[in-house]
Each structure stands twice: as C-alpha cells, then as structure tokens.
C-alpha cells in the first residue's frame, strides 16, 4: 500500500489555494472564428444549465468520495480542499444534497432503500475507488445501476476503459494524433518502434502524473526502468514518444449524442513535463486560449473538433477532458484522457467554465443538466 501522508498535508493547503493566482489571460485579439465557436459552445451549455435550474427543486445530489485512511490506489484521490469546492458547487445547484466519505456508508444507505422518495431525481457523483485494479472506480456506478440511481459521470465500462491507457490509446489510434506507444506487460524483451530521442514512461492505470518519467530512448535504460516500475506499481507500463511542446487540456461535455468542447486551457509549469511533485504542491498555472503568449492559437478549432471526435467515439457521459501536447499548429498529440477530471478550482475544467460563464456553479449545473438531458 502506498503512503497516504500526502493527503493529510493537503488539509493545510487551503491557504495556498486562496493565495494561488490562477493565471487566466483573457484574449486580447479574439478571432471571429474562435468567438463564434465559443458563443455556440456557451449557448449549448446554457441549455444544460437551464435544465438543471428548472428541475432544481426535485434534484437530490449525492456525492461519494474516499475515506483517506482506506485508499489503496496510488492516484485518483480527491484532496480535502477539492472536496470542499465540489460539495459547495453541488450544494448550490440542487435542492437537496447528501455527501459520503466512504463507499461502505453509501452502499448501506442505498441497499436499505434510503433513496426512494417519489418525485425525486437522485443523481450521484462519485470518485470513490476500491482496491487498485482497473475496475476500482466502477463499484458506485454498478450499485447505482442496480438501484436505479442516476450517475453524473461515465458508466462503469468507460471509467475502466479510460483508466487503462494500455487499451484506450490503441483504440483511438484510427482517429489520429496519438503518440507512438508501446506497452510493457512483463514480456522478456522489448521491441519498440519509438524513434524519438526521449520517451515518457507511466503506469497504465494511474493519473495526476503519478510515476511519470522522461528518460533517454535507450533500450537498456528503458528495460531497467520499466522492470522497476512494473514491480513497484504491479501493472503494465506505458512507453510513449516524448512530444516537446505545450500542454493543453480540452474539457468536453455531452448533450445527448452531441459532444461540446469548451475553451482549451494551457497548463503552465517549470520543466519539460508536469511531474507529480508539481501537481502535489500546486506548482502550475492556467491560461485559457487564445492567449497572446501562446504561439499556436490557430490550433484551437482543431483541438475542439478532435476532442469531440474522441468522446463521441468512446460514448462518454458527463464532463470529461482530453489532454494534449502541442508541438505546432499541425502536430498535436493526446497524452491522457480523464473520465473524472478535477472539478475544483485547482483543475482546468473550472477555468474553462469560468471563462465562458464567470460563475463556477455553472460547471456543476451543466453536469447535472447533461445527465438529465439523456432522458
């Protein structure tokens, strides 16, 4: 089991959050095309927000987070300051709210038929994880399906699929803009096809930059490191070409069978890659695109379209996110997909919503509206 001491350091980080300056630079020279795209995006999402507001009195939001003392997985936990943001957002966006800090308490209430009031729409948002395997986020959605509670996120299958980088990178390859990728699954020899000078290594099932390393594309060095990482994390290891460029995240939300990309957010940090240490200490900033200091603003429409293609192909629900490395206006590559992106102020999704709506509750209302729109 991984040490969870980092979790408890987070309780003292609320001051850091309040002092942290989110470097969102509003565009100075907005193109007609980008403005048109963003206006259309805002109009589509406004319909979801309106739906949530019109049904607020009958909506009962339930959140399920983890008890930090029981977490086994090395990533995916939600820190206390982030839980505060999410709870406050859903509390302001519905008439009734119930929060759980562990799966067992939630399961007990569900199986005892606590959530059975007539004329009430029960909507569940969960980041809870049980165990360390690929299905660790699927227990709450499975239970909700059995007891006819609606989920505000992807279903069990897609939560598992998008957790497993070894699978979804290969599924998405026909859509293009996927970096050259190999997987170490315990085979005796590695026959890689990656030609880049450097490679990125990362555990197949983790997020938040846990275990991510940039090393020289050297067979011996790669072999030694993937052996070590596989023993440490007890899972497959992704070997991926390193893309030198800018890191940009694109939130995507669905409205029935339509997928809507929100304004991309440039994630700024020191060094070549965003490390777990930087994520842990909030040593990163945000700039919503277009931005005068970003050299490839003309890539924006391409990113928006490609991210929508990905989520449409995968059939995701709710709010998701595609992370890119931008080499230039033509060369952009997916390096991660989040089925459960951070909803708090510490994440890119909130920056994108505030750019469009100047109100952080719009994010939570849009998620509620997205789920209600399905039926």
pLDDT digits (tens, 9 = 90+) for 15-64: 333 333 333 333 445 467 788 999 999 999 999 999 999 999 999 999 99
The tokens describing 318, both together, are 């709710």
Burial 304-323 (b: 16+ CB within 10 A, else e): bebbbbbbeebebbbbbbbb
Residue at a domain's end among 241, 259, 294: 241
Residue 78 inside a domain? The answer is yes
Residues 333, 185 share a domain: no
The CATH number that applies at residue 197 is: 3.30.1490
Same domain, 365 and 296: yes
Q: Are residues 125 and 217 in the same domain?
A: no
pLDDT of 337 over the 80 cut: yes
Residue with tokens 């936990």: 77
233 and 249 in a single domain? The answer is no
Residue 292 tokens read as 């005068």
State the DSSP H helix or E strand holding residue 143, giving kind and residue range, or none if neither: helix 139-146
- 168 close to 337: Cβ distance less than 8 angstroms: yes
Residues 153, 222, single domain; the answer is no
Give the domain-ending residue among 241, 256, 289.
Answer: 241
Whether the CB-CB separation of 282 and 240 falls below 8 Å is answered with no
The answer to the question of residue 174 being in a domain is no
Contact 235, 103 (CB under 8 A): no
Residue range 194-243, pLDDT digits in tens: 999 999 999 999 999 999 999 999 999 999 999 999 999 999 999 999 99
For residues 200 and 291, state if they share a domain.
no
Where residue 260 sits, what CATH number does that domain have? 3.30.470.20
pLDDT at 17: 39
Number of domains comprising the chain: 2
Residues 299 and 162 grouped into a single domain: yes
pLDDT in tens, 65-105: 997 777 899 898 888 889 999 999 999 999 999 999 999 99
List the domain range (segments joined by +) for residue 36: 5-166+243-372
Q: Are residues 57 and 84 in the same domain?
A: yes
Q: What pTM value is reported for the model? A: 0.90
Same-domain status, 232 and 254: no
Handedness of CA 99, 104, 105, 109 (dihedral sign): positive
| Residue 344 and residue 256 share a domain | yes
| Residues 202 and 247 both lie in one domain | no
Q: Are residues 215 and 261 in the same domain?
A: no
Residue at which a domain ends, from 241, 259, 292: 241
């Amino acid at each position: 089991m991984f040490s969870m001491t980092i979790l408890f350091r987070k309780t003292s980080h609320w001051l850091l959050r309040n002092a942290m300056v989110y470097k969102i630079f509003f565009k100075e020279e907005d193109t007609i095309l980008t403005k048109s795209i963003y206006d259309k995006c805002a109009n589509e999402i406004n319909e979801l927000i309106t739906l949530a507001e019109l049904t607020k009195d009958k909506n009962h939001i339930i959140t399920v987070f983890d008890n930090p003392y029981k977490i086994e997985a090395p990533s995916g936990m939600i820190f206390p300051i982030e839980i505060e943001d999410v709870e406050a957002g859903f509390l302001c966006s519905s008439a009734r709210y119930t929060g759980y800090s562990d799966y067992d308490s939630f399961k007990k209430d569900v199986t005892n038929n606590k959530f059975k009031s007539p004329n009430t729409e029960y909507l569940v948002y969960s980041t809870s994880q049980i165990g360390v395997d690929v299905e660790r986020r699927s227990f709450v959605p499975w239970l909700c399906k059995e007891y006819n509670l609606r989920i505000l996120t992807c279903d069990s299958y897609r939560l598992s699929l998008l957790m497993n980088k070894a699978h979804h990178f290969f599924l998405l390859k026909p859509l293009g803009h996927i970096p050259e990728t190999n997987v170490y699954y315990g085979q005796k020899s590695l026959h890689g096809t990656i030609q880049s000078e450097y490679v990125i290594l990362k555990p197949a099932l983790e997020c938040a930059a846990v275990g991510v390393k940039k090393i020289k594309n050297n067979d011996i060095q790669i072999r030694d490191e993937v052996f070590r990482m596989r023993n440490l994390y007890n899972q497959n290891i992704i070997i991926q070409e390193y893309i030198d460029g800018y890191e940009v995240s694109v939130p995507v939300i669905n409205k029935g069978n339509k997928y809507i990309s929100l304004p991309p957010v440039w994630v700024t940090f020191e060094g070549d890659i965003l490390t777990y240490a930087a994520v842990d200490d909030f040593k990163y900033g945000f700039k919503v695109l277009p931005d005068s200091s970003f050299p490839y603003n003309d890539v924006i429409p391409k990113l928006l379209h490609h991210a929508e293609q990905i989520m449409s192909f995968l059939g995701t629900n709710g709010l998701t996110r595609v992370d890119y490395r931008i080499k230039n206006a033509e060369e952009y590559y997916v390096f991660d997909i989040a089925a459960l992106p951070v909803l708090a102020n510490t994440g890119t999704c909130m920056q994108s919503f505030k750019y469009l709506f100047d109100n952080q509750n719009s994010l939570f209302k849009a998620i509620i509206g997205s789920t209600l729109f399905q039926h």
